[in-house]
Amino acid sequence: MAAEQIEVPAPVRQVQSLITGIEGTLEKWAQDLGRDLSGMRGIVPGAAIDGLVQPAVKGLLAKDSPELAGAGFIANSGLVGPDRSYIAWWQGPQLERVDALANFSPSSMERYLKAEWFRIPVESGIPHATGPYIDFLCTDDYVVTFTHPVRREGSAEVAGIVGTDVAVRTLEQNLIRGLRQLGPAVSLVSAEGRVVVSSALSLEPGDLISLDDAAVSYPVGRRFAIWGATED
């Protein structure tokens, strides 16, 4: 039986609402920031970006459900200068600034283009979720990073991306109970088929799995799905 014909169980809806909540927050932030940036013509100085981004990050990190590990904005080339990027990203309750030296680097653009969470939304213009992966650039933590392109009003060009990191342990804390209610082998997986949280003891976050023919799949947000048998 196809998944669409089955009524979506409540625990699945809870998982969906947590992920789409994060995506929705980023979408709104990207619009607000795009509007604020439209007011500034030409090259935007780093300090002005900090002034727009930091209060928003402060607000986001103060929310505790789900707890966000860090958030910020990274400029595409052209916004603060040709072939230059700019990072305005903060993490943790102390609002610690991240990767600050890169803002003085002539090769910062190259640095971020190597990262999936920057490259994909910049090149495709579509929101993205990366991971779970170890973020060696910023937190050194095990995270999923949600990113959303930012455009100035009336412009098709991507001026940069806003993003947020959610620790995999935070996702486990919030989602494991619901997945267990669905069954003993139910997992939240990324688009690549990588486990994010699973009710199965044999599966750890990061393991690659493939969808069993008999199993049910529910889409979760833009890039995730819940896989597994719903009967226990």
Site residues, other proteins (CB under 8 A): 96-97, 100-108, 111, 132-134, 136, 140-142, 192, 194, 205-208
What is the spatial distance between Cα 225 and Cα 187, in angstroms, rounded to a whole number?
Answer: 8
User: In this complex, which beta carbon is closest to other proteins, that of residue 33 or of residue 102?
Assistant: 102
User: CB neighbours (10 Å) of residue 153?
Assistant: 11
User: In this complex, which beta carbon is closest to other proteins, that of residue 10 or of residue 191?
Assistant: 191
User: In this complex, which beta carbon is closest to other proteins, that of residue 39 or of residue 51?
Assistant: 51
What is the spatial distance between Cα 45 and Cα 49, in angstroms, rounded to a whole number?
Answer: 7
Smallest distance from the beta carbon of 139 to other proteins, in angstroms?
Answer: 9
* CA distances from residue 177 to 11, 21, 106, 188 in whole angstroms, order as listed: 9, 19, 47, 12
Smallest distance from the beta carbon of 196 to other proteins, in angstroms?
Answer: 11
User: In this complex, which beta carbon is closest to other proteins, that of residue 11 or of residue 70?
Assistant: 70
Nearest to 174 by CA among 61, 62, 23, 14: 14
Smallest distance from the beta carbon of 183 to other proteins, in angstroms?
Answer: 24
What is the spatial distance between Cα 230 and Cα 12, in angstroms, rounded to a whole number?
Answer: 10
